[in-house]
Amino acid sequence: MRGPLGRTRVKICALTRRDDALRAADLGADAVGFVFAPGSRRRVDPDRVAGIVEELPPFVTPVGVFRDQPAGEVRRIVRGCGLGLAQLHGDEDPAYARSLGVPVLKAVGVDGPGALAEVGRWAGLGAVLLDTPGGGTGRTFEWALAVEAKRHARVVLAGGLHPGNVARAIRRVRPWGVDVASGTEAAPGVKDPEKLAAFFRAVAGADREVARDEGGST
């Protein structure tokens, strides 16, 4: 399953700075992500995120990234920051996700065919994010498994993506969306403007190629 007119949705994650978030939005990001998970080098203060979210243009979804945190804490951050989506990277279950009162994107670590059963467990969501186990590793996983996962849910592809490989990933998997963090950074939590721009150019170019292959247009 692909986005409208074959367009791959793009989420830029692990943002910590206002200027980076606004630059990502201006380049065409559909979503921007902020990490609230304990222990992350890219964790950001909710008050700072709330200020950034207020400046985002319309139709850009702010996303909070969480890992095994109390549901009440997640709800407070979601409300206080004005987030539109909670991205879950821990051992959360569907009941926990439903209790948050906000749309959820569940990350599934792909370490082999067994991950497909976990994708199926979350198939009721709008999409599932497929990542390298542990997340934030900068490493890819076997993309053939992402192709298989598309039988169960819309796929947002993550894990080691960067301007040099995202076009190949889109041509191979044809996901609903892609998610990038370290692959567009100059340092942890600091985006590189040239890498960001190159990432969007690569996505757009791959979408044009896929549209030609499918006999459509963008």
- Tell me how far apart the alpha carbons of residues 5 and 210 are, in angstroms, rounded to a whole number: 11
111 is a catalytic site residue:
no
Q: What is the DSSP string of 137-206?
A: S-----HHHHHHHTTTS-EEE-SS--TTTHHHHHHHH--SEEEESGGGEEETTEE-HHHHHHHHHHHHHH
How far, in whole angstroms, is CA 23 from its chain's centroid?
Answer: 17
Which of 13, 81, 179, 207 does the annotation list as catalytic? 13
Strand 155-157, strand 185-187: pairing: unpaired
- Tell me how far apart the alpha carbons of residues 218 and 207 are, in angstroms, rounded to a whole number: 8
Residue 43's DSSP bridge partners are 35
Backbone angles phi, psi at 79, to 5 degrees: -65, -45
Residue 87's DSSP bridge partners are 65, 105
Q: How many Å is the Cα radius of gyration of the chain?
A: 16
Which of 26, 47, 91, 131 does the annotation list as catalytic? 131
- CB neighbour list of residue 12: distance below 8 Å, 6 or more residues apart: 20, 21, 24, 29, 31, 32, 33, 180, 181, 184, 191, 196
13 is a catalytic site residue:
yes
Residue type at 158? A
Q: Catalytic amino acids?
A: 13, 131
